[in-house]
Amino acid sequence: MTDIIKLTAAETAARIASGELTAVAVTEAHLARIEAVDEKVHAFLHVDREGALAQARAVDEKRERGEKLGPLAGVPLALKDIFTTEGIPTTVGSKMLEGWIPPYDATLTQRLKAADVVILGKTNMDEFAMGSSTENSAYGPTGNPWDLTRIPGGSGGGSSAALASFQAPLAIGTDTGGSIRQPAAVTGTVGVKPTYGAVSRYGMVAFSSSLDQGGPCARTVLDAALLHEVIAGHDPLDSTSIDAPVPPVVEAARNGSVAGMRVGVVKQFRGEGYQAGVVQRFDEAVALLKDLGAEIVELDCPSFDLALSAYYLIAPSECSSNLARFDGLRYGLRTGDDGTHSAEEVTSLTREAGFGDEVKRRIMLGTYALSSGYYDAYYGSAQKVRTLIKQDFDAAFEQVDVIVSPTTPTTAFPIGERADDPMAMYLADLCTIPTNLAGNAAMSLPCGLAPEDNLPVGLQIIAPVMKDDRLYKVGAAVEAAFVEKWGHPLLEEAPSL
């Protein structure tokens, strides 16, 4: 089992296609790993054992019939519990949807099944994807496999923890303000936020519709590219979906190089609040890029300093609108419907019981920002700042091909350390939020361990809109050089559970 679960997704698919391994054996090995360690990690909210084995058997039968298998056929995957899945629960980490069984699959779920990817189950997350630590799940926090007393990032901490604990070789996350990249950074894995609109949001429970984006999570850049190619592409069911070819991400990941590329370093992405070990590893990564033939360009993007404030007006405003549908009358939790309460009272009691503290906080912030007399002062002003951030990116990408930064200002912090300090929690989003506001693509990949705590540090790579292949071209080159020089931190230095 140990040998199977340590394989990359690409290696696993190749061995299944050749007949060296069966998809059932691979699935059983990962299900056994989940059974052995997930009681401690708590990466999964629901494990679909029978469904996963049925999908695996179908892959083996295809191979026996001589049918050509796709590049990820038979490879297990952990799916963030924000995408609808027909026949198995989708809770979004909330009591509001506890036990809800969707009658349909999200477009992303459909594409995974069509590619014969084996869905092991649904992973833990901050409620309605609101958080940077996966402590806001109504079903309890997830632990970081490097140190179970620390957070695995958020909101997609369950997906990143499943990868880092070898419970799955692939996972899916969503990124509204960094919720794919931050978990990747603090768990030593790879996470990609594609260009906004590149992956369908149909069937993804909405938090902030102009920011939310699903994307691939993996342990290597190539594995992320293979998954990216499966889930991306135009979807007529999503009005924000981009009707354009998927960039050649797999080809880029197989031919990684930075020779002759211009790589930008933004001065706003360092300074007060950044952990010394994170800055040290980032500086080493920049030096590595220079050694590989890249030209390093210093950039000044002054509006980035306003990104955090703008995001925490725009995202709560959109969440207050999106979550209005959870009223206790149509679906989901219903509390107080005993014949003695009005419809308004039932709605109030349901929301009190169903939403957690962070969700209530953001709904209230957003409702206030959108209220009469405050809309222009708050939400309207935040949208103007968003335009300035996009203009800063546009100007930067006239000078450089990609931008690099630390993914998070610090390594994983202890569970509970920031629970009573929302502002300290929100500061984890400093480096990731500008990309969401502008809509362009970004990746986090490991760049070593911080010397003061021996925990993973993430390198963020940012590319222009629909130039997602540049992420993989640069990421693959950095990954190969890093592994050659220092070894793979997850495979060689991660503590055993």
Q: Could you tell me if 425 and 287 are in contact, meaning their C-beta atoms sit under 8 angstroms apart?
A: no
pLDDT truncated to tens, each residue of the chain (497 aa)?
669 999 999 999 999 999 999 999 999 999 999 999 999 999 999 999 999 999 999 999 999 999 999 999 999 999 999 999 999 999 999 999 999 999 999 999 999 999 999 999 999 999 999 999 999 999 999 999 999 999 999 999 999 999 999 999 999 999 999 999 999 999 999 999 999 999 999 999 999 999 999 999 999 999 999 999 999 999 999 999 999 999 999 999 999 999 999 999 999 998 888 999 999 999 999 999 999 999 999 999 999 999 999 999 999 999 999 999 999 988 889 999 999 999 999 999 999 999 999 999 999 999 999 987 888 889 999 999 999 999 999 999 999 999 999 999 999 999 999 988 887 788 889 999 999 999 999 999 999 999 999 999 999 999 999 999 999 999 999 999 998 887 777 777 767 78
Contact 319, 127 (CB under 8 A): no
Number of residues in the chain: 497
Query: Which of 132, 155, 208, 444 is the catalytic position?
Result: 155
Six token digits for residue 254: 């197989």
* Closest among 30, 89, 87, 83 to 56, alpha carbons compared: 30
CA 445 to the chain's CA centroid: 12
Q: Residue 150 — φ and ψ, nearest 5°?
A: -115, 165
Nearest partner of 114 among 59, 178, 51, 171, judged by Cα: 59
User: Rounded to an integer, what distance in angstroms lies between the CA atom of residue 145 and that of residue 150?
Assistant: 9
User: Who contacts 241 (Cβ-Cβ below 8 Å, separation ≥6)?
Assistant: 197, 200, 201, 202, 234, 235
Q: Which residue has the tokens 């050749």?
A: 18
pLDDT of residue 421: 83
* Active-site annotation holder among 80, 95, 122, 473: 80
CA trace torsion 89, 91, 92, 94 (10° rounding)? -170
User: Quick one: pLDDT at residue 1?
Assistant: 62
Give the integer Cα–Cα distance in Å for 206 and 212: 7
DSSP for 316-342, written as a single string? HHHHHHHGGG-SSSSSS---S-SSSS-
Active site residue 80: yes
For the entire predicted model, the pTM comes to: 0.97
Query: For residue 74, which amino acid is it?
Result: G
Q: Which residue has the tokens 């361990």?
A: 449
CATH code linked to domain 4-255+442-493: 3.90.1300.10
Catalytic-role residue among 179, 208, 317, 405: 179
